Amino acid sequence: MGIWSIVALGLNIITGYAGQFNLGIGVYMGTGAYAAALLTTGAGLGFWLALPCALAAAGAMGFVTGLPALRVREDALAVLTIGLVFVFESLLIYLPWFGGPVGIGRIPAAALSGSALGKNGYLALVLTALLFVIALTLYLKRAWIGLAWAGIRENELAADVIGVHPARFKLYAFTIGASFAGLGGVLYAHFIRYITPYDFGFLTSIYVLTMIVFGGIGTIRGAVLGACVLTFLPELFRFVQDYRNLIYGGTLIGLMLYEPRGLLGDGSFVWRRLTTRWHRLRTAIAGHKAAPSGKPALAAAAPGVQKGNVGAPPTGAQESLLQTRDLSRGFGGLLALNAVSIEVFPREIFGVIGPNGAGKTTLFNLLSGTLPCSGGGIRFKGSRINGLPPHRIAGLGIGRTFQIVRPFGELSVMDNVLAGIGSRHCGRLVDALAPRGRSAYRAEARAILARTDLGAYERETAANLPLGLLRRLEIARALGLSPDLILLDESFSGLSHAEARSLLDLIRSLRAEGMTIILIEHNMRITMELCDRIAVLDRGAKIAEGTPREIQNDAAVIAAYLGAEAHA
Amino acid sequence: MTLNLLLQQLINAMELGSIYAMIAVGLALVYGVLRILHVAQAGVYAAGAFIGLFLYQEIGSFPVSLVGAMLLAGALGMLIERFVYRPMLPRPRIVALIASVGLLICFSDIFRIIAGPNQLAFELPSLRGSYEFAGLVISRIDAVILIGTAGIFVLLWVLLQKTRLGFEIRAAAQDLEAAAVMGIDVRRCVRWIFFISSAIAAFGGVMVGVLYNAVYPDMGDMIAYKGLALIVIGGFGSLLGTVLASFLLAAAETVLTTYTAVPLSREGVAMLFLVLLVLIRPQGLLGRA
């Protein structure tokens, strides 16, 4: 039971936290078990020496099988992992070193200070290991790495543009999850003391997956509960031996029909009941002790917010911040962007306008690296950035929002912003393993939330927010990067008049602090009022560039754009 | 002689490919519209074989029991869709996958309880024996399987390309919501898809039962796992790609296990081949990138 809990927690990291479908957890468990069995029976190592080696082997297996996960996702990945389980099982049977279909027997019992552990001693060992794994999982969840995983799970592209390297963090998840499962495998091998390839096949993998889904995916309590219930269930139904699997399958279907979040998943009926009870109990106790302390006032004062159009439009003598030269991008035979050259100077508010399908969002996708360009080049702060992946570009100081919002839906507003801040702090693995709960980070996030008028929603789940707030949340998340340049893709659309006003003020104050802004906008009044200079795109080509006044009087623009609108 | 052997191998591979295709096409149809990995198709396939066998024992006419098995399995598929999958569609897709696994476990237990754990023989004297054809030996059952598969796929093609229902199904596969908005009865499409894919699976189940003279509870499992991989390789939802992938896998499996000494079981070889193909071409043979 404890052993299965450990394996389930391993899968929970990969599938529950990082969101990578994996139907092949048996591979890692088997790697750990076989490594330990071979090392103790063949090489004559003791349990305590074999253990770290087996964990390393399982982790390495996780890393190697994680590599394909970088190429495929979701259902294709699920199917791929099914394939891997069968290949693994087949290799164990047919390669000469693994004892063939009969497996490896006579695995020595684990020993502590010379004497073999008895049944109770082994139970204590397993429980210690389980507690260790639970503690480690809790720690990881609260470290930056946990937030990065959640970001990838919720929206991989959005995680990428705020500087989280998806491939790297997926591999971490696979490696760590696999070594947990490997630990389970080692403990299994030394408990049963006789292993066969069939112990770690597809059915085992599915069994572990059903455990975490049963208990509530993405939660520690769920993984442990699922493992306990599903290992006990068959014992419980021993009296109906013949119908055991029928009941097992039926339970799965029933649970998926009526409680798809799992018994103790976030938001499931039982868990909601438990947490509200607990809450009531706690407030009742607190009520006796002292009067409830009021919510702390929102950290209202955002540092150094200045109003008004302070930053002067740049002069031509200045070094440009961002420069594109003959930037092109084709989709099939269609040129979405055709040799567009723009130059944006520091502290400038630069507008990009044009009719639908003019290539505006394509331009943003090229600038942020989410699409490779098919011709031309981009320079940022003097160095080439075309060809760099989105997370590198984000690291250099370009933040962006999406026209169709991509929030991390299941995360709180606070965590959305923290994710942006976090990517600045987890460049190396060691940093990513640091806890993120520090008040300095929270204060930074609160300051950003305050200036984007989101302070009141700090604890709200992002998916529950209306569109206007989500647009602001995307800006807040990008601000977490503390970028030099921010790309706003139609951030004003769908906003009420008052909301648009406060966003205008926000953009101006950002510029006053030295930030450069490029925005795509359809609302002419806002564009003309806000922007220092404007580029007009039409059918992939730049047809005009200049100050709002120049644009308004440009014949080509009036014909292509305003004219077309007048006819409509 | 060698040419003959080669042709014989080709026929074997074609037959294996047909069997794969019959289950994979159903999976691809379901995936195309609902984006569900319908593992329980393995259970429907076995159900088809069992029903076919029982009907044959009762009635004694093979064609009647084959059609009966297809119709009943089709109805079973519709029931699965109505009572298991439909309530789960708005949920994350892992929910339907787990339920599908649950269904598969239930099916195989139900068969075991009803029919016992042992293999049942599907003895069909009229299909034993073989034709000789220019030095090639083709058993009757092989011929029936090959011709039957070809017939079913032609029918399916006509249905999808030439009828109104087929047009609606193709539209629903493009975008379920848009199709519904355009006045297509999406639920009817989905019902039909489950009927068709289950009936085709039942045909495969009955035929394989006769071919190996064995019907048993988990006879469909391995084929369904491969079928899932096949729809990935075919390019999710692409029927033609899935059929192509089925024959490609069958050919590779036949060639690799006959002519090389890979230290893997037949299933291991097939799965390795599938894993490699998925890695080389993640978007599938005929899928768009």
Tell me the mean pLDDT in the region A466-477.
87
- Residue B202 confidence class, pLDDT cut points 50, 70, 90: very high
- Residue A183 confidence class, pLDDT cut points 50, 70, 90: very high
Which tokens go with A546? 């200049």
Q: Is this prediction's ipTM beyond 0.85?
A: no
Residue boundaries of the structural domains of chain B: 2-280
Inter-chain CB proximity B274 and A89 less than 8 Å:
no
> Nearest 5°: phi and psi at A375?
-170, 155
Per-residue model confidence as pLDDT tens digits over B7-36? 888 888 888 899 999 889 999 989 888 888
Quick count: other Cβ atoms within 10 Å of Cβ B279? 15
- What share of chain A in percent tops pLDDT 90? 3
Contact predicate A1/A236, CB 8 Å: no
Residues 6+ apart with CB under 8 A from B187: none
Distance from CA of B93 to the nearest CA of A (A): 9
Contact predicate A541/A362, CB 8 Å: no
CA nearest to A11, candidates A25, A28, A26, A29: A25
Nearest to A256 among B99, B271, B274 (CB): B99
Q: What is the pLDDT of residue A307?
A: 37
Look at domain B2-280 and name its CATH class. mainly alpha
How many alpha carbons fall within 13 Å on the CB side of residue A471? Answer: 19
- What share of chain A in percent tops pLDDT 70? 89
Euclidean distance between CA atoms A53 and A100, whole angstroms? 22
Q: What is the pLDDT of residue A430?
A: 63
Taking contacts as CB-CB distances below 8 angstroms, the residues of chain A near B236 are 75-76
Contact predicate A154/A409, CB 8 Å: yes
- Residue B197 confidence class, pLDDT cut points 50, 70, 90: very high
Q: Is B34 exposed, middle or buried (0-12, 13-18, 19+ CB in 10 A)?
A: buried
Topology classification of domain A322-567: Rossmann fold (3.40.50)
Euclidean distance between CA atoms B130 and B137, whole angstroms? 7
Tell me the mean pLDDT in the region A448-473.
85
Per-residue model confidence as pLDDT tens digits over A303-331? 433 333 444 444 445 678 888 888 888 88
- Residue A567 confidence class, pLDDT cut points 50, 70, 90: very low
Euclidean distance between CA atoms A129 and A121, whole angstroms? 12
Average pLDDT of chain A is: 81
Which tokens go with B202? 């039942």
3-state secondary structure of A123: helix
What is the 3-class SS of A173-231, one letter each residue? HHHHHHHHHHHHHHHHHHHHCCECHHHHCHHHHHHHHHHHHHHCCCCHHHHHHHHHHHH
> Which of the pair, A261 or A208, is modelled with greater confidence?
A208
Inter-chain CB proximity A94 and B272 less than 8 Å:
no
Inter-chain CB proximity B265 and A90 less than 8 Å:
yes
Chain A interface, Cβ < 8 Å to B: 15, 21, 68, 71-72, 74-76, 78-80, 82-84, 86-87, 89-91, 93-96, 202, 206, 209-210, 213, 217, 242-246, 248-253, 256-257, 260
Sequence ranges of chain A with CATH classification 3.40.50.300: 322-567
Does pLDDT of A427 surpass 70? no
Tell me the mean pLDDT in the region A60-84.
83
Does pLDDT of A114 surpass 70? no
Inter-chain CB proximity B232 and A76 less than 8 Å:
yes
Residue A541 carries which DSSP code? Answer: E
Inter-chain CB proximity A260 and B35 less than 8 Å:
no
Inter-chain CB proximity B271 and A90 less than 8 Å:
yes
Does pLDDT of A148 surpass 70? yes
Q: What is the pLDDT of residue A300?
A: 37
Does pLDDT of A113 surpass 50? yes
> Nearest 5°: phi and psi at A291?
-65, 140
- Residue A240 confidence class, pLDDT cut points 50, 70, 90: low
Nearest to A242 among B37, B113, B267 (CB): B113
As a whole number of Å, the CA-based R_g of chain B is 19
Per-residue model confidence as pLDDT tens digits over B132-145? 766 677 788 888 88
The answer to whether B96 faces chain A, any CB pair under 8 Å, is yes
- Return the residue in B94, B114, B228, B230 with the most chain A beta carbons within 10 A, the one to mutate for interface testing: B94
Inter-chain CB proximity A68 and B37 less than 8 Å:
no
Per-residue model confidence as pLDDT tens digits over A334-362? 788 888 888 888 888 998 888 887 888 88
Quick count: other Cβ atoms within 10 Å of Cβ A128? 11
